[in-house]
Amino acid sequence: MNLDRPLPQVNVVKKVPAAKGERQVLVIPVGPAPKDDAHPVVLGPAAKAVPKQLDLELLGAATSLGSVARTALPSPARTTALLVGVGSSSPDTEQLRTAAGSALQSLHDADINAVLQFDLESAPQAVALIEGALLGAYRFGQYHQQSAPQAPETITVVVPSSLHAAVTDALEAVITVITQVWRTRDLVNMAPNDLNPATFADYAVRSAKLPRTKVTVHDEKTLEAKGFGGHLAVGRGSTHPPRLVKIAYRPPRAKTHVALVGKGITFDSGGLSLKPAKSMETMKCDMAGAATVLGTVIAASQLKLPIAVTGWLCLAENMPSGTATRPSDVISIYGGKTVEVLNTDAEGRLVLADGLVAAAEERPDLLVDIATLTGAQMVALGAQVGAVMGTDNARSAVQEASRAVDEPMWPMPLPAHLRTGLDSKIADISNMGERYGGMLTAGLFLKEFVGESEWAHLDIAGPAFNEGKAEGIRSEGGTGFGLRTLLRTIEVAHEHHTTKRS
Ligand code: BES
Ligand code: MN
Ligand code: ZN
């Protein structure tokens, strides 16, 4: 599997180039006219490029955010116009990102240069546009022997002269981050016969070979020796043994340390508490949290953030077999707390408990876990909004970050009364609570393993995986949702931490 394929080439230019050998698609924004909002118009500098008589029907087809329409242009030669709705006469960064994503999503040939000519007033707007275009250009064609899906291999963004230097300077960082979103999506989309705990750990070792970045893989023998009973219990039914991977990025003189823990179940069959066939179809996505953590630490390291970051990938395959953990088995998590496993399908919290205890041992300033943890998360918030629980400060940091990058994460409570549902007659705690409020009970379970840490728990069961069609920046299958939030959270935590001290 090729996880190293490059993103499209991005050019930042001051005016629309002449098409050379390749076909050129001029992507231009359509929105309600600033004064008369019943009447859609081409917004900004692109208005000059399109013939005046461009019919209203065509514009109408592209008025709502993300809708697209196409027309041939008389000049420049070999140029088509792709009209894309931005949903407003002065679109914000989220609308720009979505519109660019939809535009690139709708182009299906590699030999196209997609030229985006939007009305841009600031560098952050241009950055959002580039992010959207790169996120929308993602395709997963690795298993197609024939007719693999394609996307433009060149993206050109036209910016006003006054922004050219700033946008050019910001470009490398954008590409670094979106590359990791692509890798996260690839890992999630990879078939579970190719991605198991050992191959995932190998990929982490290979991809995190970076300055000041150290990867340590705990294999099943080390996990046994050190008492990581959560990983061992979940992995016991599989022929692919579990792994716990630690990736430590340590820049010089860091004042803040953030630890990230990701759920990495490479396939969740439910174990002996077997899932019905239909619910199992998407369960290769159950390692999305770990993939997101890996990508975040790699990006933090490549961006040389002045913040220490430790990622923990909790990797196991949850399978039924003669050696599998039984409902009613009692296990002990790293550090010694015992758990009565009443449902082997509530496995994510068992591996995360190991990871959280290990991460908290290092006393990070902020501890964040991210997991496709409960079906209840999807029932509560649907497929496009994540949930965030935890201590007040940690939760606020994540919310601030999620707002800044336009990845919606909604706060959820950890009500004390639900904790009694986890009481076990024979062990310290059970892994199964009462029927209602399953997402919150899972959060309460994790809370038992974080000690005094400032801690946030992100449940991304819904938004991590798109079972429907690609839309805007949301690809089909793995979405990479949460990576941009985690990266921003690291920076927010650092800002909070350093201002509090001074
Ligand atoms: N991986 C699932 C949660 C999930 C469901 C993620 C749907 C993405 C989409 C998790 O391990 C699980 O099975 N949770 C159980 C918990 C229950 C047994 C307490 C669930 O949500 O049903
Ligand atoms: Mn499960
Ligand atoms: Zn799971």
- Domains observed in the chain: 9-178 (3.40.220.10), 190-501 (3.40.630.10)
The Cα–Cα gap between 474 and 257 comes to 31
CA of 139 to the centre of ligand 3 (A): 25
User: What is the CA(95)–ligand 1 centre distance, in A?
Assistant: 32
**Alpha-carbon Rg of the chain, whole angstroms?**
24
349 token code pair = 């919290």
pLDDT tens per residue across span 291-301: 999 999 999 99
Q: For residue 338, give both structure tokens.
A: 């015992």
Task: Provide the pLDDT confidence category of residue 79 given band limits of 50, 70 and 90.
Answer: confident
- Treating both helix axes as pointing N-terminal to C-terminal, what angle do 93-105 and 123-136 enclose, rounded to 10 degrees? 30
Angle of helix 161-189 relative to helix 123-136, nearest 10 degrees, comes to 30
Summarize pLDDT for 214-271 with one digit per residue, the tens. 999 999 999 999 999 999 999 999 999 999 999 999 999 999 999 999 999 999 999 9
Instruction: Classify residue 456 as left (phi > 0), alpha (psi -120 to 50) or beta.
Output: beta
On average, the pLDDT of the chain sits at 95
348 lines ligand 1 (CB under 6 A): yes
pLDDT per position as a tens digit, 120-147: 999 999 999 999 999 999 999 999 999 9
Higher pLDDT pick, 445 / 80 = 445
CA 436 – CA 22 distance, rounded (Å): 57
List the catalytic residue out of 185, 349, 395, 484: 349
**Where do we find the tokens 């876990």?**
369
User: 469 pLDDT band (50/70/90 cuts)?
Assistant: very high
Q: pLDDT value at position 178?
A: 98
Structure tokens at 140: 């997963």
Can you give the pLDDT at residue 47?
87
Is residue 345 within 6 Å of ligand 1 at its C-beta? yes
Half-sphere exposure (CA, 13 Å, Cβ side) for 66? Answer: 14
Report how far residue 298's alpha carbon sits from residue 311's, in angstroms, rounded to the nearest whole number. 9
Tell whether the torsion through CA atoms of 474, 479, 480 and 481 is positive or negative. positive
Check pocket membership of 291 for ligand 1, CB cut-off 6 A: no
Task: Give residue 21's Cα distance to chain centre.
Answer: 36
Cis peptide, bond prior to residue 76, ω within 30 of zero: yes
Find the mean pLDDT for residues 368-394. Answer: 98
- The answer to whether residue 349 is catalytic is yes
What is the rounded end-to-end Cα distance, in angstroms, of the chain?
A: 48
Q: In 100-177, which ranges are E strands?
A: 112-117, 154-158
32 CA → ligand 2 middle, Å: 46
Q: Which ligand 1 atom minimizes the distance to the CA of 373?
A: 3
**Beta-ladder partners of 400:** none
Name all contacts of 417-422 with Cβ < 8 Å and 24+ positions apart.
Answer: 418/444, 419/444
Sign for the CA dihedral angle at 37, 42, 45, 50 comes to: negative
Query: What are the tens digits of pLDDT across the range 85-106?
Result: 999 999 999 999 999 999 999 9
Cβ of 96 below 6 Å from ligand 1: no
User: Residue 484 is encoded by which pair of tokens?
Assistant: 């941009």
Within 8 A by CB and 6+ apart from 48, the residues are none
Higher pLDDT, 458 or 75: 458
Atom 13 of ligand 1: nearest residue by CA position: 345
- Report which of 348, 342, 346, 316 is spatially closest to residue 330, judged by C-alpha positions: 342
d(CA 380, CA 378): 5
Active site residue 278: no
Q: How confident is the model at residue 181 (pLDDT cuts 50, 70, 90)?
A: very high
Cross-sheet strand order for the sheet of 429-430 = 329-332, 338-341, 429-430
CA distance 473 to 458: 20
Tens-place pLDDT, residues 319-329? 999 999 999 99
CA distance to 64, 71, 261, 349, 366, per residue, from 114 (Å):
21, 14, 38, 44, 41
Report the SS3 class of residue 329.
Answer: strand
459 lines ligand 1 (CB under 6 A): no
